[in-house]
Chains A and B, each alone.
Chain A
Amino acid sequence: MTDEAADRRTEQEEGTDAKDAMAAAHGHEASLRMDALAHHERDQPASREAVFSLADVKVTYGSTPAVRDIGFDVYKNHITALIGPSGCGKSTLIRCLNRMNDLIPSAKVEGKVLYHGEDLYGPKVDPVQVRKLIGMVFQKPNPFPKSIYDNIAFGPRVLGMKGDMDEIVERALVRGALWDEVKDRLDQNAFGMSGGQQQRLCIARCLAVEPDVILMDEPCSALDPISTGRIEDLMLELRKNYSIVIVTHNMQQAARVSDMTAFFTVELDEDETNRTGRVVEYDDTEKIFTTPSDPRTEAYVTGKVG
């Protein structure tokens, strides 16, 4: 081969390399866009009735503020994702929605948290009743050391739900997309299940008490991709009858499943000692991932910052 030809060939190769590199860099963005657009083609949830209305919400542990200036609405039968880097108070905020922060003595919640128009922190409100209506699934699956049946039946039993327990358990497992797998071994210990199954058990357990809202704090972060996929499919099914709020580190997951997304960031205060979380932007998922308004949001969703 002549030198000229060799040079041209190298140029071509380099050109291809460069294109591949660009494709790789923007592929991340592109795939997010595709997920969000595919979303758009699904059934849109019906109306935008607010289940939660947050205004000026601030949470402090002792004297350190964890999140502040939180104000947005969570809509009924929507999946709302809270995304953002670690440590910006997403878990703290979601735990306000079912008063789990009450369990931490030093935690103080200020501002307004309205649930269907009622103040969630009002004087007559019973936190136990709140948690029946607003259920939670945790990051690490936490089944009880009992049989699958007893795991599901625990909630209905303590709440004194009427009806045939076998039917209640079956219904919850069916809704949790777990029935077919476990219907023949309901009396086996839940600890014998795989991680993904245990998490679906926890979701079914939550469904058994007939909640109105389901909160999920990074439900798939301890699971493999296949289990994650099944739970995401389950979430899309559950959306028809429940409102879901999910905290997730996984942007693609947020893009795949959620209808609305809130992007959190953390800010240092003046003396650079305290780090407080705030919501930068809250909008339709499609918009957040394709045309975000705030540069910080764009930097995060395009992967420029972690």
Chain B
Amino acid sequence: MEARDTALTGPAAPGRLRLEAPSPRYGEKAIKGLLAACAGASIAITVAIVVALIGPTLEFFQEVAVTDFLFGTEFTPLFNDGEFGVLPIVAGTFSVTFWGLVVALPVGLGSAIYLSEYASRRVRNVVKPTLEVLAGIPTVAFGFFALNTITPILRDNWPGFLGDPPGIFSAGAAGVALGLMIVPIIASISEDAMSAVPHGLREGAYALGATKMRVALRVVIPAALSGIVASIVLAISRAVGETMIVLIAAGSTPNFTFNPAESIQAMTAFIGTTATGDVPTGSIKYQTIFAVGTLLFAMTLLMNFISIRLVRKYREVYE
């Protein structure tokens, strides 16, 4: 090996072994500050959302009593002598959500159980991502599907004993489309929860002669229950916050009913319609948009919070 060039690099070179920084490294501190600001921007956004909502909402409640708002059953804010009871549009939202769950729960849970307990690895690796595609389809397409296809089918095949068939707009048509949209949420997260159940639990039951169905229903589902419930809560949160499907297919008149054949107006649709119309800034009609927005925001935040706690719980049991 060659002799080392001590002239260039030997330890005898003066000052070479200094331990102080060659320069104050301000650049490092500046970069760290800049990056922290980016992270802090997310807090700023939340604050901005709250501020954007709260201001007009508080002004709203100076005109309308909170109890009238939350518990009133007449919602006609755009009339000059309007009523501001929000229950009809809340009912509209939850009606559509309910009928959506009627579709999504069996389909989503059934898919989850099938993928987790019955399907081979290859089938699962193909079907699960395919279901995810459903989650990527824009909601306008679902709205179109609801109006164009689901509504005529419901109208033409409405069983007589359920009363009058739906019109052009109905909670049921929007509900079915919405249900299809939230199937991937329930299926994916429930399937994750069920797959996380240790095999030993299943094997113990199989060894005692239990059938697959019994193991799925009596062992796996109870074990994965908090994850399954979390998926449902998350799906509801998503359904409540969804705008385009209800805007296109559910209707635009508040209607306090859970009848799937009737047209209703959901909270999101109210906001969407009113905020794009001719509404003078600062008027009570304008402020109603924000009051409903605050209610919507609070509901989804609460549901999201619950679902996160449930997910944490199912992760903890097995780790």
Q: Which residue of B lies closest to A176 (CB)?
A: B1
From the candidates A122, A212, A237, A241, name the one contacting B17 in the complex (CB within 8 A): A212
Query: With an 8 A cutoff between CB atoms, is B21 at the interface?
Result: yes
User: When the two chains form their complex, are residues B19 and A126 in contact, meaning their CB atoms are under 8 A apart?
Assistant: yes
User: When the two chains form their complex, are residues B19 and A122 in contact, meaning their CB atoms are under 8 A apart?
Assistant: yes
User: When the two chains form their complex, are residues B1 and A130 in contact, meaning their CB atoms are under 8 A apart?
Assistant: no
Q: Which residue of A lies closest to B22 (CB)?
A: A129
Contacts of A175 in B (CB 8 A): 1, 4
User: When the two chains form their complex, are residues A133 and B17 in contact, meaning their CB atoms are under 8 A apart?
Assistant: yes
User: When the two chains form their complex, are residues A120 and B21 in contact, meaning their CB atoms are under 8 A apart?
Assistant: no
Count chain B residues whose beta carbon lies closer than 8 angstroms to a beta carbon of A.
13
From the candidates A122, A124, A129, A174, name the one contacting B2 in the complex (CB within 8 A): A174
User: When the two chains form their complex, are residues A116 and B1 in contact, meaning their CB atoms are under 8 A apart?
Assistant: no
User: When the two chains form their complex, are residues A126 and B21 in contact, meaning their CB atoms are under 8 A apart?
Assistant: yes
Query: With an 8 A cutoff between CB atoms, is B11 at the interface?
Result: yes
Chain A: minimal CB distance from B283 (Å): 54
User: When the two chains form their complex, are residues B1 and A120 in contact, meaning their CB atoms are under 8 A apart?
Assistant: no
Chain A: minimal CB distance from B30 (Å): 16
Give Cα distance in the complex from A118 to B18, angstroms: 9
User: When the two chains form their complex, are residues B20 and A210 in contact, meaning their CB atoms are under 8 A apart?
Assistant: no
Query: With an 8 A cutoff between CB atoms, is A72 at the interface?
Result: no
Contacts of B11 in A (CB 8 A): 212
Chain A: minimal CB distance from B122 (Å): 31
Query: With an 8 A cutoff between CB atoms, is A299 at the interface?
Result: no
Contacts of A210 in B (CB 8 A): 9
Contacts of B19 in A (CB 8 A): 115, 118, 120, 122, 124-126, 129-130, 133
User: When the two chains form their complex, are residues B17 and A125 in contact, meaning their CB atoms are under 8 A apart?
Assistant: no
Contacts of A126 in B (CB 8 A): 19-21, 25
Contacts of B2 in A (CB 8 A): 174
User: When the two chains form their complex, are residues B1 and A237 in contact, meaning their CB atoms are under 8 A apart?
Assistant: yes
Chain B: minimal CB distance from A154 (Å): 18
Chain B: minimal CB distance from A303 (Å): 35
Give Cα distance in the complex from A126 to B17, angstroms: 12
B residues 1-27 touching A (CB-CB < 8 Å): 1-2, 4, 9, 11, 16-22, 25
Give Cα distance in the complex from A210 to B13, angstroms: 12
Chain A: minimal CB distance from B159 (Å): 64
User: When the two chains form their complex, are residues A124 and B1 in contact, meaning their CB atoms are under 8 A apart?
Assistant: no
Interface string of A210-247 (1 = CB under 8 A from B): 10100000000000000000000000010011000000
Contacts of A177 in B (CB 8 A): 1
> If the complex has contacts A116-B17, A133-B17, A210-B9, are A241 and B4 also in contact, measured as CB distance less than 8 A?
yes
Contacts of A115 in B (CB 8 A): 17, 19
Q: Which residue of A lies closest to B23 (CB)?
A: A126
Known pairs A124-B20, A128-B25, A175-B4; list 12 more (Cβ under 8 Å).
A122-B19, A125-B19, A126-B19, A126-B20, A126-B21, A128-B21, A129-B19, A129-B21, A130-B19, A133-B19, A212-B16, A240-B4
A residues contacting B by CB (< 8 A) are: 115-116, 118, 120, 122, 124-126, 128-130, 133, 174-175, 177, 210, 212, 237, 240-241
B residues contacting A by CB (< 8 A) are: 1-2, 4, 9, 11, 16-22, 25
9 contacts between A and B (CB under 8 A): A116-B17, A124-B19, A124-B20, A126-B25, A128-B21, A129-B20, A175-B1, A212-B11, A240-B4
